[in-house]
Amino acid sequence: MPTSKECRQHAEECLRLANETTQIYARQALLELAAEFREIAKQLETRSSSAHGAKQRRARPAAALPTRRRRAS
């Protein structure tokens, strides 16, 4: 699965190509494709941040971890 960064790079490439072409239908298709790549990148970032947040919520806070007692010497 591509990363959000890769999707954004593909979107930029589509925009670059859209600006270079003289064919109106090709330009329109490339602009639509760029928009789709941006939307996918956004969804991947949302999933990534919500998954990261869920992991943090599930992790035990350091204060709740049992502490080891030292033996008296």
Q: For 20-66, what is each residue's pLDDT tens digit?
A: 999 999 999 999 999 999 999 999 999 888 876 665 555 555 555 55
- pTM for the model: 0.66
- 23 phi and psi angles, rounded to 5 deg: -90, 120
Radius of gyration of the chain (CA): 23
Report pLDDT for 62.
52
Which residue type is seen at 17? Answer: L
Residue with tokens 């956004």: 42
Question: Could you give the CA distance from residue 56 to residue 73 in angstroms, rounded to a whole number?
Answer: 38
- Residue predicted with more confidence, 73 or 48: 48
Amino acid identity of 38? R
